[in-house]
Amino acid sequence: MKIAVLYGGTSGEREVSLSTGKGIIKALENKGHEVTSIDFSPEKIQEILKLNVDLVFIGLHGRFGEDGKIQGLLDMLGIPYVGSGVLASALAMDKAKSKQLFSLNGLHTAHSEVYDVTDASRFSSIEDEIKQTFSIPFVIKPNQEGSTLGLTIVKNEKDILQGIKTAAHSDSMILVEDYVKGREVTVPVMGRKGEEQALPVIEIIPKNDYYDFDSKYKPGGSEHIVPAKISEALTAQLQEDAVLAHQLLGCDVYSRVDFIINDQSEPVILEVNTLPGMTPTSLFPDSAQEVGLSYDDLIQSFVELSQANKEKKV
């Protein structure tokens, strides 16, 4: 097939996306596809408008890649692509909206509030509201951002204002939520619509206090345990919750769902990643390896699932 890979992008996750893109391009070439690679930014929209390919593989992360915008453009052009569509992408990117959906459908989420931070003169009053609503420790983060960029774990009241400013640098809306102490796990999900299955649960043991950007992407920043050393019952619960979250948002082909297992051994859902990191050493490929899917085969399976969905629509 003729496949275009979009990667790079302009978000804070650009460096990760460059690695993801390189991995995807190599895997597709290994599988015999003719690959066009585009280090994408909104200024390069003409390249997308002129594309003549069978499929687009989106290797972007964050804004203009994971938020539904590029998906909307490709839909208007009638070009099929791998992964979730506009609505699922936008919902997953909006942490507050997705949490509302999860909560309404019985998934356990941390208590949270959203604040509009477009007007910097309101930061002090927002700080006061947060003090009245939340008990330390709690988390302040951008409502729409990935890779824990702009996130602050507030352990002292004097850090609240700086936490607001840090998150506001990345987004006009910030999310404040209770800090849930526990084990960090993630569950990859893939499959045809309505037939999705969860891959083995991965436990993430960060070298830092939490799974921050450095833990995710620096060599030796974290340890991945696949499958996670948890009970069969908890494994089943996490996998069931992950598939449900994927389906609630209307995700397509694949996603990765992040959880914290709290002190009561309950899964607390954090977020769904519609375009999770896909470098050869990323979490999703690690889990796939456990069920005998090599990196190249995993990328090829996403292509085949996308083709199957396209034929279903036709």
Active site residues per annotation: 13, 147, 217, 256, 258, 271, 273, 277
CA atoms within 13 A on the CB side of 69: 14
Q: Are 27 and 35 in contact (CB under 8 A)?
A: no
Q: What angle do CA 252, 257, 259 make, to 5 degrees?
A: 165
* Strand 152-154 relative to strand 173-178, pairing: unpaired
Could you tell me the sign of the dihedral formed by the alpha carbons of 255, 12, 82, 299, in that order?
Answer: negative
Cβ neighbours of residue 76 under 8 Å, at least 6 residues apart? Answer: none
Closest-CA residue to 126 (of 178, 179, 180, 173): 173
Q: Are 113 and 271 in contact (CB under 8 A)?
A: no
- Helix (H) or strand (E) holding 175, with range, is strand 173-178
d(CA 21, CA 27): 10
d(CA 89, CA 70): 10
d(CA 309, CA 272): 21
d(CA 27, CA 294): 10
